[in-house]
Amino acid sequence: MSERSTAESSSIEAQSAFALPQRLNAKANPALIAEDERHFAAMAAALERQTADVATRLSARRQTHEALGQGIVERDAEIRRLSARLKLLESYGIDLCLGRLVLASDAEGTPSGSEQVVYIGRIGLLDEDGRPLLVDWRTPAAAPFFAATHADPAGLLSRRRYQWARGRITDYWDEVFSADGLEDPNERAALDYQSSFIASLGSSRSGAMRDVLATIQGDQDAIIRADAGVPLVVNGGPGTGKTVVALHRAAYLMYSQPRLKDRRGGVLFVGPHRPYASYVANVLPSLGESEVAVCTLDDLVPGVLDGIGELPGESSAHASALKSDLRMIDAVKRAISIYEEAPARDLTVDTPLGKVHVSAADWEDAFASVEHGLPHNEARDQIWETLLDLLSEKSEALGAPEKVRGALALNITLSKALNRAWPLLSASDLVSDLWEVPALLRLCAPWLNPEDRAVLRRPEGTGSEWTTDDLPLLDAARHLLGDETSSRRLRVREAERAAEREYRAEVAEALMASNYNGSGLMSQLQQSDLQEALVDDPARWADESPVLDGPFAHVIVDEAQELTDMQWQMLLRRCPSRHFTIVGDRAQARGGFAESWEERLTRVGVSLPGSGAVHSATLSVNYRTPSEVMDVAAPVVLSVLPDADVPTSVRSTGQPVERRSVGDLAEVLVQWEASHTEGVACVIASGAWLRDSAQVGGGVSRGTDRISWLTPTLAKGLEFDLVVLVQPSAFGSGVEAAVDTYVAMTRATQRLVILE
């Protein structure tokens, strides 16, 4: 158990759960908090018991040994679940509680003439007698806590939210939904329901995203709990909580949809870039969910862009448009088909049993045996097996078919002939050939004109110089080809199984020989089914395909307005059910977004024509960006996109946007660090400026963890207390430059400084 959790659980009964500052003495009235004190004391005791119980169960499970593969899989899954639960319990204490609601006497499920107090938590928690101390925030019983409004109280008399710091309550706020909800005048000291929300918005940021579960608003909660069976689009401008909604929806779906668990699909959460993925990494575990796969599009094609870092290779606009054309998938298919041509000449091979004649018809029959849709590299094994069967059957004169087959399987001449006709291919080699061999590109992509081909031309031997626009093509090629190492792994696996089968047969024979009457269990060892079961271990022969290849039951994609048609195909391969949650802002699309969301999703295949309209929801309130910043940022994007959905800010800091010279950068950062012991800042500039300033030093040390240096693209989805925007005029002109400037400005939660 962590030091924090141990200290808290051992001392909670000796101290109050509340640590209210002196200015909030009125809220410390026992009439207001006595019930909470009793409840939190019971929670502390239950948490201590449960933490000890989970730790004991985890330790015991780690020490168990399973003989069979399925038992190993189940043990490992349980260890993961228990570890995640223990980590959550040790990360929190009684601050697992988000707030409480009071149900009216006539609310559904509440006994007549009584009121029911329900405490809402990140997870569910029971006392020793099985009574609920916390109701998991994802359950239907907790829904009114987030959804209730004065127009629709959802059966609530009141709602209380807590502000926690270091495991104790430093403030709380009550919202009353009935005129007689608070009968005691003293209770009115807590009436300030908006403060919990506004206070959370104004607090300092850190290098990781904070979950805002306790302050989820009604419109956001409705999106989180929306039907998962049809594509859902969540459109909203900067600071409207799109990412918050997306992450909470992922946790909610995993809890509310049992079909998503137990290796039956699960949820994939796709973010725009790696700084974003690191930023949100801790949110889902804090919401009680640790089984959602979080990645970026780059991660879907592992190992390609690992060495590029935060400033990946960039294609020209022309090359990017060409590579994003869906017809490029046809080019990949044509390139593969070039390597799938049956030999037209007969072949005679020598074996220890004699000569075997392989006719062109034999090759044609073997090639025709490939199942439709089977990846190229996997199909090669099917061709090989079919060819061996055909040749062994027609060569009966040389001996028993199994002996002829065995001799042919070891024949190098026959194997080389198949390798020439149907070679094993890698995705990287295939796509490299398209860019480096002009004749191949001309043959496979006849719609390209000479200028297009020249733009795509890459000097031969530079296959490591991939760009993000190459990833969808590499992914398409990888799925069409299959794993080029699968054939070798299959042969190794079969050889291992054959050797083990032979060994176990010898052992069984020896045991039978020692048991003279041949009865009982020993005699069963002669049965082939039992011998095969002893050899077959599901854990050893488990699916070795990459985890991110899916398929997934539901995919949530953030900043989806940036996805190209080809990138959408990457996601569709991983979610054939088309159960998507699409989160984005058309006004933040760097390349423009002239279509509606429904038009875009229908065109790329997420929503099939005639399958029903895409469900959509709009978030229009900016909770993050101060009005002072939005007043400057809005005209930038509206100048190029007059119909952009610019959200309305609900908060003000009183700090106007500052404009200074680039030479003041060091001074701005040094002064901010000196005056702010908490919070994070970001210098946002063009990739060229960041590279140049890193080389010459720029007069500023980059050694602090509290200051990031990012391009507008890599800052998307993140937020910082201070944003220093360097030379936005260098971004150029047009929609892309305006969007980059708009995105950069709206990352600020407190202060924006523009340097020219």
Instruction: Tell the residue number behind the tokens 């009235």, with chain if given.
Output: 29
> How far is the C-alpha of 275 from the C-alpha of 116, rounded, in Å?
44
Q: Annotation-wise, does 323 bind a ligand?
A: no
Q: Annotation-wise, does 241 bind a ligand?
A: yes
> How far is the C-alpha of 362 from the C-alpha of 360, rounded, in Å?
5
> How far is the C-alpha of 247 from the C-alpha of 254, rounded, in Å?
11
Nearby residues of 154 by Cβ (< 8 Å), 6 or more positions away: 143, 144, 147, 148
Q: Annotation-wise, does 438 bind a ligand?
A: no
Nearest 10 degrees: Cα torsion 62, 67, 72, 78: -50
Q: Annotation-wise, does 110 bind a ligand?
A: no
Please give the C-alpha separations between residue 539 and each of 291, 528, 646, 664, in angstroms, as whole numbers.
Answer: 20, 21, 53, 61
Q: Tokens for 154?
A: 């959802």
> How far is the C-alpha of 648 from the C-alpha of 430, rounded, in Å?
49
> How far is the C-alpha of 265 from the C-alpha of 249, rounded, in Å?
16
> How far is the C-alpha of 24 from the C-alpha of 21, rounded, in Å?
6
Q: State the distance between the two ends of the chain, measured CA to CA, in whole angstroms.
A: 51
Q: Annotation-wise, does 238 bind a ligand?
A: yes
Q: What is the DSSP string of 634-677?
A: HHHHHTT-TT--PPEE----S-PPEEE-GGGHHHHHHHHHHH-S
Contact of 129 with 67, CB cutoff 8 Å: no
List the one residue out of 205, 281, 204, 208 whose CA is nearest residue 250. Answer: 281
Contact of 661 with 756, CB cutoff 8 Å: yes
Q: According to DSSP H, which parts of 515-626 are helical?
A: 521-524, 528-535, 565-574, 597-604
Q: Tokens for 376?
A: 């190229």
> How far is the C-alpha of 676 from the C-alpha of 648, rounded, in Å?
28
CA–CA–CA angle 686, 687, 689 (5° rounding): 65
Q: Tokens for 1?
A: 């158990």
> How far is the C-alpha of 745 from the C-alpha of 756, rounded, in Å?
14
Q: What is the DSSP string of 273-293?
A: SHHHHHHTTTHHHHTT----E
Please give the C-alpha separations between residue 96 and each of 93, 431, 535, in angstroms, as whole numbers.
Answer: 6, 50, 48
Q: Annotation-wise, does 258 bind a ligand?
A: no
The length of the chain, given as a count of residues: 756
Contact of 698 with 668, CB cutoff 8 Å: no
Number of H helices, E strands in the chain: 29, 21
- Within a 10 A sphere around the Cβ of 500, how many other Cβ atoms? 16
Contact of 628 with 653, CB cutoff 8 Å: yes
- Within a 10 A sphere around the Cβ of 503, how many other Cβ atoms? 11
> How far is the C-alpha of 701 from the C-alpha of 681, rounded, in Å?
14
Backbone angles phi, psi at 356, to 5 degrees: -125, 130
Instruction: Tell the residue number behind the tokens 């200290």, with chain if given.
Output: 7
Greatest CA span in the chain, whole angstroms? 105
Q: Annotation-wise, does 202 bind a ligand?
A: no
Backbone angles phi, psi at 162, to 5 degrees: -110, 150
Q: Annotation-wise, does 243 bind a ligand?
A: yes
List the one residue out of 588, 584, 575 whose CA is nearest residue 549. Answer: 575
From the annotation, which residues make up the binding site for ATP?
236-243
* Residues in the annotated binding site: 236-243
